[in-house]
Copies of this chain bind each other. A is one copy, B any other.
Amino acid sequence: MYKKLFIPGPTDVAPEVLEKMATPMIGHRTKEATALQQSVSEKLQKLMYTRNTILLSTSSGTGLMEGAIRSCTRKKAAVFSVGAFGDRWYELARNNRVPVDIFKSEPGQPTTPEMVEEALKTGEYDVVTVTHNETSSGVVNPCAEIGEVIRRYPGVLYLVDAVSSLGGAKIEVDQWGIDICIASTQKCLALPPGLSLCSVSERAIEAAEQVEFRGYYLDLVRLYKRVKKDYQYPSTPSLSHMYALDYQLDRILEEGLDNRFDRHEKLAGMVRAWALRHFSLFAKEGYRSNTVTCINNEEAFVFADLSKALLERGFRVGGGYGPFKATTFRIATMGELQEDTLAELLADIDEILGLEA
């Protein structure tokens, strides 16, 4: 039986978008491939509020994050982490011999502009990484305000993981001064996994050109140069995902960006209001994600039992992640989700756990 997905990726894909995954093959060195990739790029620039170049990578978001931190760090990277995917930046750097320090916030707390300021004051760093929306904990960071701080330190590049928020929350790349903003297809963009994407500033590419060993497949400079030449890719890309993405971006722009972001906010608001009636929220007030809500279950019930009962009703919700696996669970409100489906899920949880609606 097919399950409605409330996990923080993969998310449900609209049937007409899935159909585009079945588009017959073309050569990847053809004018048709160029036109497809140019079309995707221009629509993504609208979604990301940027004039920067768009790069696609046939990899998960982790692949592009690795390419970005490895390609761009000349002196040392400052990684700001509010959870498992923030920690990942650190691991990516370490595994590539990239000099790096990590600055962790307390559980549920955001990365603050003050923390970033304090780190940059030392003059040690030329790259800052921030997780816009931490999938593991439902914390959203003040990326605009952090961007204001970074702007005052010329030569420092601003790398943002927007994997679990792009397409569900407004991210103004140029306004916020983000040099590399990374996302992937299987979250709020509501496509199957298998493709990641980023915007990249010219100054990020200029900086990366100073780094000698950037690898090959995930090297952002190599991707950038080929895209600038003819909107193609050094290796054969996932054309199926590009067809689906091109079509889905039309649907997203047709819904209207503000409408789409508002819908996500409203859905997350429903989850938060419901959760606060029975439980508490992991993320500090003011820093709560509109795409994934992490709820403290305070061990009031066994998540595996709830999950099983929900699966029997056709719903899949997310368990806790990493260190908070046992004490939290997660409900994602990403992509194509509509209010009535969410209301049904929440009512079912009430019923299963015997909570008062």
Of A212-220, A253-261, A298-306, the one contacting chain B is: A212-220
Q: Chain A 116-160, CB within 8 Å of chain B: the 1/0 string?
A: 000000000000000000000000000000000000000000000
Write out the residue numbers on chain B whose beta carbons fall within 8 Å of the beta carbon of A240: 21, 192-194, 240-241
Chain B residue, CB-CB nearest to A91: B216
Copy number of this protein in the oligomer? 2
List CB contacts (< 8 Å) of A1-27 with chain B: 2-3, 5, 7, 9-13, 18-19, 21-27
Q: Chain A 77-105, CB within 8 Å of chain B: the 1/0 string?
A: 00000000000000110011100000000
Write out the residue numbers on chain B whose beta carbons fall within 8 Å of the beta carbon of A327: none
Partner of A60, one of B3, B12, B58, B186: B58
Q: Is the interface of A mostly helix, strand, loop or mixed?
A: loop
Nearest CB of chain B from residue A117's CB, rounded to whole Å: 29
Does A237 count as interface, using CB distance less than 8 angstroms? yes
Nearest CB of chain B from residue A347's CB, rounded to whole Å: 22
Nearest CB of chain B from residue A126's CB, rounded to whole Å: 20
A10-B27, A96-B213 given; 8 more Cβ-contact pairs under 8 Å: A2-B24, A10-B26, A18-B24, A58-B193, A95-B215, A193-B237, A215-B215, A217-B218
A-B contact pairs, 26 of them (CB 8 A): A3-B26, A5-B27, A10-B25, A10-B26, A10-B236, A21-B21, A22-B22, A25-B186, A30-B316, A58-B194, A59-B63, A59-B235, A60-B237, A61-B235, A62-B217, A62-B234, A63-B235, A66-B216, A70-B215, A95-B219, A96-B215, A184-B236, A192-B238, A193-B236, A194-B194, A194-B239
Instruction: Give me the interface of A with B, judged by CB distance under 8 Å.
Output: 2-3, 5, 7, 9-13, 18-19, 21-28, 30, 58-63, 66, 70, 91-92, 95-97, 184, 186, 192-195, 213-219, 234-241, 316
